[in-house]
Amino acid sequence: NRSLKINSVTGICMTKLDVLDDLETIKICVAYDLNGVRVTRPPVGSDRFEECQPEYIEVPGWQQTTVECKSYDDLPKAAQDYLKKIEELTGVPVDIISTGPDRTETIIVKHPFE
């Protein structure tokens, strides 16, 4: 989130969504425990980062391939829900989704130059 705000990011590209296809649940880090204090951003200094313990939420996986999906609506419902959760947590829309290693395996939700 810090990088998104500092760099005025208006959309993100979710790459390698297909790597998550076989997972029953997916963990998303939402905060850290830093010496007993809950923080939503890791410390700036890398020397203190090792003191952080991640706090996760879990969302359902989809156990279906996303590789053949050509549009957002083709994605499994749980994959769409995962992407919506990422958007909710970051406050930034997912504009591009890659579902495989080939260029043709990319879903453009919103073109970055339009």
Contact 2, 9 (CB under 8 A): no
Tell me the pLDDT tens digit for each residue of 39-92: 998 788 778 888 899 999 999 999 999 999 999 999 999 999 999 999 999 999
The overall longest dimension of the chain from CA atoms, in Å, is 46
Q: State the CATH class of domain 1-24+61-114.
A: alpha beta
Tell me the pLDDT tens digit for each residue of 28-42: 999 999 999 999 987
pTM: 0.88
CA 14/CA 36 separation, integer angstroms: 32
CATH 3.90.170.10 domain position(s) in the chain: 1-24+61-114
CA 85/CA 53 separation, integer angstroms: 21
Residue-level pLDDT at 4: 62
